[in-house]
Structure 1
Amino acid sequence: MADPTTTQTIDLLVIPAAIVPAEPAGVVLQDHALAVDAGRIVAVLPVAEARLHYAPRETRELPQHALMPGLVNAHTHLAMTLLRGLADDLPLMDWLQNHVWPAEGQHVSRAFCVDGVRLATVESIRGGVTCANDMYFFADATAEVCGAAGLRAAVNLIVIDFPTAWAAGPDEYFAKGIAVHDSVRGNPLLRTMFAPHAPYTVSDGPLRRVRAYADELGIGIHMHVHETAFEVAEAVKQSGQRPWQRLKELGLLGPDFVAVHMTQLSDEEITEAATYGVHVAHCPESNLKLASGFCPVAKLLDAGVNVALGTDGAASNNDLDLFGEMRTAALLAKGVSGSAQAFPAAQALHAATLGGARALGWDAEIGSLVAGKSADFIAVQMNAAHLTPCYNLVSHLVYAVGRGDVSDVWVAGRALMRERRLLTLDETEVLAKAVEWRQRIRN
């Protein structure tokens, strides 16, 4: 906050119709402005005070818009946008083993990942996503593309037992992953997480190494866990143990662990998730499409577990629309729990913003509009027919707003989209590349 007797020069002052800071939850600020300087939020304060105390180099007046934190996609596979719609209406293991893995074996390369991540970045920014937690091969490509586009990203260092185009085996996965980690250190928009794919694709030895390296480097772990009943039943049949129990015994569970999907949970496992401080990345639309099951969100939240939202990859969703995930998650939680009060709008918005940031260990920096945090925020145009009238803005953001209503996006104070025009990517070129890949893959 500026000294009341002086005028402080700042980079940007945004004056919207309303601000939804996400912290405290459910708060809506009318007649307020957001002051930004050097990529950070200087203040959120009444408009009259802002005009008195700040001399902005740029002022954006958005009288038909709401400002809110940028959305955090807590689980995705960005490059898989190039496989969107390749194999639909199939259960998970059939989809993976007979369609996705063969296609990846034939086509995935660094060039595939560069073009796929660029396509995903266009879609993400247009949909108000300012941070993505990306689990895929060629993590160096993800870092390169997201860094150039200005999209914040947790770049995952994938580990899997079998060879892929990225690495021949665990030793090479670790070596390449640590090299990527070293290459992005110091970049404020990029960080890394280890990503052992799933309990059924990573054996005990590599999992122990993941924990040891994560502790040594001070980074998180991100893993598919209990995605389907089949996965759990097969593990019990083969080892006598549920995957969660195995991960617990191997020491993987902790406050730096993000468990994705979690559709098959006992009450004891829910309690343990809270005890260990594990975060859950809930991907409702992918789980529905693959008939994987229902994450017990209401029970997890009641137990004190932090729940974030992810889209999963566009090959199983089939989009990267986090506004859609918010709405689906809120509705699904009500249906599964039998309570219309389960996962209310403010909680869903928290999961898509501050909950995601917390899962990635980035909540001190992003996820809410608070002075001192990075200026990662979006403007949502609220004067469309499907948004009129508006009685409760937070409710509207979850149940009525669509990603097409996002007009402007900033990350670390840098505008990535202005009045629906992308500023850091050539969309025409990106789409042309995607069409080329369709021809190649289809043939």
Structure 2
Amino acid sequence: MGLDEQTISILKATAPVVQDNGTQITSTMYRIMFKEHPEVKNLFNMSHHVPGEDGLPSKQARSLANAVCAYAANCDNLGALSEAVARIAHKHVSLYILPEHYPIVGECILKAIKEVLGDAATDEIMEGWKNGYQFLADLFIDVERKLREEKANAEGGWEGFKPLRVTKKVKESDEIVSFYLEDPAGGPILPYKPGQFLSFQFPKGSLENCDHDIVRNYSLSTAPGHNYYRISIKREVGRNADSPLGLVSNHFHNNINVEDEVLTGVPCGSFVLNEDSEKPLVLISGGVGLTPMVAMLEHVVANNPSRKVTFIQSVRTSKVHAMKKDLDDIVGANDQIQAFVFYSDEEVTAEEAELAHFDVRSGRMTQEALDDIVSDKDSDVYYCGPDGFMEKMKEDLQAIGVPDNQTYFEAFGPTTQ
């Protein structure tokens, strides 16, 4: 059963004013929620709630505002939101968000709407948003329950967080370290799809100066088919009293070693390779955004050797180019791949970078270079990287004529696209 006509009418009529005040509403909601229900900090990456240096609201506030506005505008056509629902549901399952958490969010978002809109938020409007929220909450609760059950009932599956043991720790570059994780009892691992991620929970007290549980997501950086998971973590900088950026990545780098166990959530994520397509495949990454791309690349060469692949990396320097020897070997062993790397901060030759099979270029990747490399615009394009990179890729791919419905992206953190 869908939304009733009166609720749809209220949501659509108020969508413009909510959009105009979206980030103020969501920022207010998070302020209210963290004050009145501090326990929910256990479910959030608090570094995503720090306002931007440019004065913008936090990434999480902007992401939620986009989602709320999209729901209001499309509440009579929920099929248009199916991709967003899938992405958010996977994220919620990875964080172990449960049905009992939804009333807290609902209570706080209604308080925020009333606080921001004031007298304009009449009783009728508030009732409409209350009903609209409850409908959406019930939708997510049902989708997430089915996803949790599917993961728990599969071979090697579980629900929530369970310990996995680090069996190998490998330095991939000056900034990135890989961790191999296995079941401590030697049992099978839950299968995953290339492009998905794991979540890791650190209970209150396990990290310095943190008064709540912490959960982080890291992409799986190798293809499925092994009896281990691999994640590859970049050491982030910028940790300070106001921003916990780098808190967990530094902990992994400095303190997590072979034989240690870490609480791990089930593999999740809707950013996965479309294996039914035979279109040419383009994988584009910026920095540590290479991690899901490596999983996809390895999977394609192992399972579809006839599919043409263009692999493009943007990296600052050759010293921080993670996994470059392994990638160079993969490219050299598979004629289906063309590989390019752009070193944005360094003038370097292929020989100096120790790459025999990559087309090595200096400087940032331009739109013109992308247009030349992606000669077949009827390609499936996957891209992942930091915020600025993601925004430029979206613009450039549209400009060179790649159809929007053939581009797929993963944002590390809340998506504002």
TM-score, structure 1 as length reference = 0.30
Higher relative contact order, chain-length normalized (CA < 8 Å, sep 6+)? 1
TM-score, structure 2 as length reference = 0.32
